[in-house]
A and B are shown apart, each in its own frame.
Chain A
């Protein structure tokens, strides 16, 4: 039984109040700025620092601002594709890092280390030069490629953190029963990694959605992802329309995640219901 399953057993009565205190503190730290962002999205004036009156004017502006909405949409599209691709590539890379032979794992580990340590601006500027020198037109796909090259490393480290602790007995058992190594992987390991994979995918999504540096250097004349628009606003003033966009995005993702979670729960309940044996 893993730690997660074990915690459902009754009798684990001692509540770790220190852990809860720290968790609440951290969550407050994460969510306080979001609350402020929400507050200022309702500001009646264009300041992000000084609040005046409650007003929906920025939401109205947002919903009439076609280009801003396009930027929001394109950022989301890029993020979905980049997240899925880097989740796949990063997970596979994690296997190489963890289980590859000396050469394989050293290469994979080395690349990930280098990726994390190299300042993003340098990589992005060099990638920009490379692409433009080779006469590639910068477009949607160059942005996706840049993001994938960034997020893959993060996904790989997260997945690998769990992978190294996985007991391979069940895998070997599956192989003894006739599964090939890849089959055992799919049947045994991937289900164990499920929660981590979802978390890593979510991480890749937000990393891509919020990325500015790589996006700037890989974007061409197409619809500009949201962070480009926002950072460019620095020169003439960032308005709460951006807050409204952030709140809208947050709400949309929260809805999608909640719906997915509920869907999973419902499916599970039905499955359990069908196979329930009389107690």
Chain B
């Protein structure tokens, strides 16, 4: 929902955003363009990319061995994002509404573990869950043989959730903290049961937070490689690993560039389709309303107009 009413000059806000946009342009957009250019390039004897005009890199991208990591990544990401949402929303909500002074403390406890290096925390999980680790050893004393936990796809999904949960919690916290309490109370009077209040009042009002959380979690997760590298088995390779290999591992940076361009194109396409469908649904709703049919619950206008 855009909160600039008609008539107010949006120019001020765009101008305010300029420094941030400039920083992103200089240190991100221009390198990204370079990536696009190099996706058609070749590499020299030192492995450095050179400008060229070949499609070989894209031919290397559209191979079957890139397909299963891609599909796997989409599955892992979808599952992990949903789990992050299911776990993260309650935490954010509670931190704002019920934890009072402890709210900021809860946030701090969620964010601060990142001060300990990622690798070290992964080793901590290994020391807990690996075959010779604390948990299986303890279970063995009780006579239970634990199944293999690490180096599986489940370990990767759990690792992804663990790694990205704080990124889901923060935007939702931000959105919930702006939630007017009177509206929730009015909802309670109107709908009675807590789930109904949640779905019809709370959730729609915090939609931007949920969307923000999902973006901060799902998008970077698509390029994640560290989790699969340290917690995954041979069949948990994600597309991020394939990409990272090309840039750092006796691969070809130009193929890596092509992979990145293909991935971005795929996601932009998905987004475009989603927005198109959302707009179509808006029109459908309008038509249904005119025809006197009851409106479905949530309004997708915000989603469509959000970007």
Indicate, yes or no, whether A interacts with B.
yes
* Residues of chain A within 8 A of B49, CB atoms compared: 129
Given A99-B2, A120-B223, A246-B117: A3 touches B34 (CB 8 Å cut-off): no
Complexed CA–CA distance, A254 and B174 (Å):
22
A271 at the interface (CB under 8 A from B): no
Contact A101 B19 (CB under 8 A): no
Contact A162 B174 (CB under 8 A): yes
Closest to B213 in A: A161
Instruction: Say how far A144's CB is from chain B's closest CB, in angstroms.
Output: 10
Contact B13 A95 (CB under 8 A): yes
* Residues of chain B within 8 A of A77, CB atoms compared: none
* Cβ-defined partner of B111 (8 Å) among A96, A123, A206: A206
* Cβ-defined partner of A6 (8 Å) among B95, B125, B181, B263: B181
Complexed CA–CA distance, A30 and B162 (Å):
7
Interface membership of chain B positions 170-181, coded 1 if the CB is closer than 8 angstroms to chain A and 0 otherwise: 111111111111
Given A116-B216, A121-B243, A125-B247: A206 touches B177 (CB 8 Å cut-off): no
* Residues of chain A within 8 A of B74, CB atoms compared: none
* Residues of chain A within 8 A of B104, CB atoms compared: 195, 198-199, 261
Contact B93 A96 (CB under 8 A): no
Given A92-B20, A202-B108, A238-B120: A164 touches B87 (CB 8 Å cut-off): no
* Residues of chain A within 8 A of B215, CB atoms compared: 113, 116, 157
Given A22-B91, A49-B132, A164-B3: A96 touches B17 (CB 8 Å cut-off): yes
Contact A152 B35 (CB under 8 A): no
Within 8 A of B (CB), among A188-239: 192, 195-196, 198-200, 202-203, 206-207, 209-210, 212, 226-227, 230-231, 234, 238
Closest to B103 in A: A4
* Residues of chain A within 8 A of B192, CB atoms compared: none
* Residues of chain A within 8 A of B16, CB atoms compared: 92, 95-96
Complexed CA–CA distance, A272 and B106 (Å):
26
Contact B117 A118 (CB under 8 A): no
* Cβ-defined partner of A250 (8 Å) among B112, B182, B211: B112
Given A30-B110, A210-B115: A157 touches B165 (CB 8 Å cut-off): no
* Cβ-defined partner of A165 (8 Å) among B30, B94, B132, B205: B205
Contact A158 B115 (CB under 8 A): no
Given A7-B98, A100-B14: A108 touches B3 (CB 8 Å cut-off): no
A19 at the interface (CB under 8 A from B): yes
Q: Which of B21-29, B58-66, B287-295 contacts A (4 or more CB under 8 A)?
A: B21-29
Contact A118 B115 (CB under 8 A): no
Complexed CA–CA distance, A230 and B230 (Å):
14
* Residues of chain B within 8 A of A130, CB atoms compared: 30-31, 34
B52 at the interface (CB under 8 A from A): no
* Cβ-defined partner of A199 (8 Å) among B34, B115, B173, B219: B173
* Residues of chain A within 8 A of B14, CB atoms compared: 96, 100-101, 103-105, 108
Contact A29 B162 (CB under 8 A): yes
Complexed CA–CA distance, A207 and B132 (Å):
32
Instruction: Say how far A203's CB is from chain B's closest CB, in angstroms.
Output: 6
Contact B97 A30 (CB under 8 A): no
Interface membership of chain B positions 239-271, coded 1 if the CB is closer than 8 angstroms to chain A and 0 otherwise: 010011001100001001100100110011001
- The interface on chain A, measured as residues whose beta carbon lies within 8 A of the other chain's beta carbons, has a size of 123
Contact B307 A154 (CB under 8 A): no
Contact B27 A127 (CB under 8 A): yes
Contact B247 A121 (CB under 8 A): yes
* Residues of chain B within 8 A of A34, CB atoms compared: 113, 116, 121, 124
Contact A36 B219 (CB under 8 A): no
Complexed CA–CA distance, A167 and B97 (Å):
19
* Residues of chain A within 8 A of B119, CB atoms compared: 230-231, 234, 238, 242
Contact A117 B94 (CB under 8 A): no
Interface membership of chain A positions 151-194, coded 1 if the CB is closer than 8 angstroms to chain B and 0 otherwise: 01110111111111111100000000000011000000000100
* Residues of chain A within 8 A of B177, CB atoms compared: 2-4, 162, 195-196
Contact B27 A149 (CB under 8 A): yes
Closest to A27 in B: B109
Complexed CA–CA distance, A166 and B126 (Å):
44
Spell out B's residues near A (CB within 8 Å). 1-5, 10-14, 16-21, 23-32, 34-35, 38, 48-49, 87-88, 90-91, 93-100, 103-104, 106-121, 123-128, 130, 132-133, 162, 165-167, 170-182, 184, 205-206, 208-209, 211-213, 215-216, 219-220, 222-223, 225, 240, 243-244, 247-248, 253, 256-257, 260, 263-264, 267-268, 271, 306-307
What would 8 more interface pairs be, CB under 8 Å, given A101-B14, A108-B14, A165-B208?
A6-B97, A19-B90, A26-B91, A103-B14, A111-B21, A149-B28, A158-B212, A161-B171
27 contacts between A and B (CB under 8 A): A19-B91, A22-B90, A23-B90, A30-B110, A49-B126, A50-B127, A93-B24, A96-B21, A99-B3, A100-B14, A104-B10, A118-B28, A119-B240, A119-B263, A121-B223, A126-B35, A126-B257, A127-B31, A149-B24, A149-B28, A156-B20, A162-B178, A196-B174, A202-B112, A210-B114, A227-B118, A238-B119
